[in-house]
Amino acid sequence: MRRVRKYKQLAYPPAAATVLFTLAGCQTPLSTLDPASDQAEHIARVWYWMAWGSMAIVMLMVLLTTLAIRARPQGQAPRRNLGLLLGGGILFPLTVIVALIIYAYGAAPASSEARIHIEVSAHRWWWDVSYSSPTGEDHYSVNEIHIPAGTPVQITLTASDVIHSFWVPRLGGKMDAIPGRRNRLTLEARQPGVYEGTCAEYCGVGHASMKFRVVAHDPEQWPKTVAALSKTRRAP
Ligand SMILES: [Cu+2]
């Protein structure tokens, strides 16, 4: 018993370090666990359900395995428990997967709500952003997307060369930018601020530096910010 207690004490520092390192990772600029929109919060909740749920299932498996190892054979022939096999092997995983799919489906944003449309085109290895204004005058920015806070914004994504992936972890999920296709994604930042984004699909040697930022402005200030942007499209 004393020996078990000694080993238990040895496990405390690594366990504490793991928790601290995990929590430290939650606050980085590209963390899905530091959500700044309803959509990202839903994704983070799915992540927590999956993390804690899988941990509970693993602990249950360890417990059952330990009980099976410790069980003393009493001279009977081994029994086949078909109910346990079907329940644990098919019904249980099926229930968990279907429940997760239904829950995760709620993270998909309602794109029909978006009144503001911004076009983003991915190139190796930069992002070309264009804003069409009601006056017919287009504005452009590079590697920076200006949006109003508290307002759904529809981002239309395409690419000029290879497949890229648009990802702003604190605001929502990933969406591929594919040559010849126009994919749509809705972003909504709760508060004004700067949210880091990155290409999440390997697209060549410059992939790691294919970053961008979403700048969410006060909604009153946003039209002025867009009006002050370049009127000509340019490469970086
Ligand atoms: Cu890319």
Tell me the CA–centroid distance for residue 158 and ligand 1, in Å.
11
Taking the centre of ligand 1 as the mean of its atom positions, its distance from the CA of residue 204, in whole angstroms, is: 7
What percent of the chain shows pLDDT beyond 70? 84
Residues with Cβ within 8 Å of 102's Cβ and at least 6 positions away in sequence, in order, are none
CA of 210 to the centre of ligand 1 (A): 6
Fold type of domain 111-227: Immunoglobulin-like (2.60.40)
Report how far ligand 1's centroid is from the alpha carbon of 123 (Å): 7
CB 129 within 8 A of CB 119: yes
Report pLDDT for 32: 86
Pick from 84-88, 127-131, 133-137, 218-222: least confident: 133-137
Query: Would you say residue 16 has pLDDT above 70?
Result: no
The residue with greater pLDDT, 71 or 185, is 185
164 alpha carbon – ligand 1 mean position (Å): 4
- Cα 176 to ligand 1 centroid, rounded to whole Å: 9
Residue 199 CA to ligand 1 centre (angstroms): 5
126 alpha carbon to ligand 1 midpoint, in Å? 8
Place of tokens 């983003």: 120
CA geometry: angle 122, 128, 131, nearest 5 deg: 125
| 191 alpha carbon – ligand 1 mean position (Å) | 27
How far apart are the C-alpha atoms of 180 and 167, rounded to whole Å? 19
Query: Tens digit of pLDDT for each residue in 107-157?
Result: 666 556 678 999 999 999 999 999 987 667 899 999 999 999 999 999 999
Domain edges within the chain: 111-227
Mean pLDDT of the region 225-235:
90
